[in-house]
Amino acid sequence: MTAESVPKGGTRGSRIAAGPRLAIPARILAVGAYRPGRGVANAELSRTLDTSDAWIVKRTGIRRRCAASPGETVVTMGAAAAEKALAAAGRSVDAVDCVVAATMSYTGQSPSAAVQIARELGAKRVGAFDVSAACAGFNYALDVARSLIAGGSARHVLVVASERMSDLIDPGDRTTAVIFSDGAGAALVGAYGEPGIGPMTWGSDGSLAGVAGQDLTWAHFRDTPGCRGPYFRMRGPELYRWAISEMPAVALRAVDAAGLDLADLAAFVPHQANLRMIEAIADRLGLPGHVVVARDVEDQGNTSAASIPLAISRLKEECAVASGAPALLLGFGAGVAYGAQVIRLP
């Protein structure tokens, strides 16, 4: 070992090489969506629940939701959405360095959904892990992808949000059965010449855990003979009041962090919880009339973490907003956990 090869103040191996100080901008290059083929209209639900099409539309704005078949799993739906995102971006799976899956309904626990999605795609030697932040999961996973690219750990990250909420919902519970749905959305995030994903504003409040979440743990199910599996329960009116009172300020902080004003936005893509909530938050924000508000929930239902990428995909399909236009994303839900950022649409 020569004197020149020894770092000042120690011997080789005593320090971690810092590498170049990187802050590589990232952007969503493309999105992909997977919607199960079976649609469940309100009239079908009214045959087994004390409800009606008029009641559901008035309170939620939902007319239809998707129901996965036995073969449409969190993994297969997520992989199908990811394949569409890769195709839209003109990239092969070999370009992917990491897969980040956002899901609250994957019941396999281990190995992670992300690892299995990577396997389905044929991706090898890639990082893969899950993010659990319920309906804010896509926002969290997107910021993780941005950070991985900014730090030089990856050039392309697949963010896959996939939910099979039908596995968690009590079919006899009118509060949740009329709202939740199945589906997957994916975004390929890549290094780009200028920033396309703004700073994240986020938070959580565990004191509101009882407002939306599983009513039993899997351990309780395991240890209690004859016990049913955990169901996702929700106190809708409380969640509604919390969301419309707290989320506008979170959204405004994200716009400010991006160095923009509301007038600069082209679209608002909130978590597709229900239409009443979306419209109430948009109204309290005071969005200018030219801002397109995503309303994918009307025909898709609430797909938790998958709702935002699915809504972005529909805006793209309908050519409602131009590529490169700024859009405000806002996720919030069980936990409660929430997050927002401004992106440039792919």
Residues that are catalytic: 135, 271, 302
Sign, CA dihedral 322-317-331-291, equals positive
**AA identity, residue 287:** L
Beta-carbon neighbour count of residue 249 at 10 Å? 12
Contacts made by residues 86-90, CB under 8 angstroms, sequence distance 24+: 86/30, 86/32, 86/121, 86/158, 86/188, 87/30, 87/32, 88/30, 88/31, 88/32, 88/188, 88/346, 89/29, 89/30, 89/188, 89/190, 89/346
What is the dihedral angle through the alpha carbons of 310, 80, 28, 123, rounded to the nearest 10 degrees? 150
Contact (Cβ atoms closer than 8 angstroms) between residue 279 and residue 294? no
